[in-house]
A = this chain, B = another copy of it.
Amino acid sequence: MVIAVIGDSHCSAEEAKLAETVGELLAQQGVTVICGGLTGVMEAVCRGAKSKGGLTIGILPGGDSSMANPWVDIPVVTGLGEARNVLVVKSAQAVIAIGGGYGTLSEIAYALRSGIPVIGLNTWSLSRHEREDNSIIGVQSATEAVDKAIALVKKHKVYEIASLRSQ
């Protein structure tokens, strides 16, 4: 299972702590972490995952691997700039958003467009045409975020298998 963790390259101490705990919990469940590979939330989640022996993938915007944080196991060098955002979320089965600016918002939008569930910790909320859009699943803690994300991936897989069988 691969879960993306997204958020800003500059983040508060509180967001970094959340991200690090999310990384630890994902690694403990055997989940591979994918992220944008840079600093802030991306670095904290990788550090947490590595502290528990997890595997981390960083989808880098730049043209070489020099900007990867030290806890990225597999730097994917894209040179695509911000267009790399779509790769971060499409390579995952679920997304956990922690805080985040407009880059994170673009990733949330891409995930929702692809039907990939988004769990939010103190992140964006959306209204479309004056009606609230509750697609981002708000949670209150790192544990809740990880449990919810894993549960949704498993549920989705069961549906997929069921749907294949009924064909």
A91–B109 CB distance below 8 A: no
What's the Cα separation between A101 and B124 when bound, in Å?
16
Contact of A76 among B63, B81, B91 (CB under 8 A): B91
A110–B99 CB distance below 8 A: no
| Contacting residues, chain B, for A91 (C-beta < 8 A) | 65, 74-77
State whether the Cβ of A106 lies closer than 8 Å to any Cβ in chain B. yes
B80–A80 CB distance below 8 A: yes
What's the Cα separation between A166 and B27 when bound, in Å?
39
Q: Report the stretch among A16-24, A125-133, A148-156 that lies at the interface.
A: A125-133
Closest to A112 in B: B102
State whether the Cβ of A78 lies closer than 8 Å to any Cβ in chain B. yes
Contact of A127 among B57, B81, B124 (CB under 8 A): B124
A129–B99 CB distance below 8 A: yes
Per-residue B-contact encoding for A109-125, CB less than 8 Å = 1, 0 else? 11011100000001111
Within 8 A of B (CB), among A53-95: 57, 59, 63-65, 74-83, 85-87, 90-91
| Contacting residues, chain B, for A109 (C-beta < 8 A) | 102-103, 105-106, 109
> A residues engaging B (CB < 8 A)?
2, 32, 57, 59, 63-65, 74-83, 85-87, 90-91, 99-103, 105-106, 108-110, 112-114, 122-130
In the complex, besides A63-B81, A79-B90, 9 extra interface pairs with C-beta distance below 8 angstroms are: A65-B91, A74-B74, A75-B91, A77-B91, A79-B83, A80-B87, A102-B113, A103-B113, A105-B108
Q: Which 6 A-B pairs have the closest CB atoms?
A: A79-B81, A102-B113, A106-B109, A105-B109, A77-B90, A83-B83
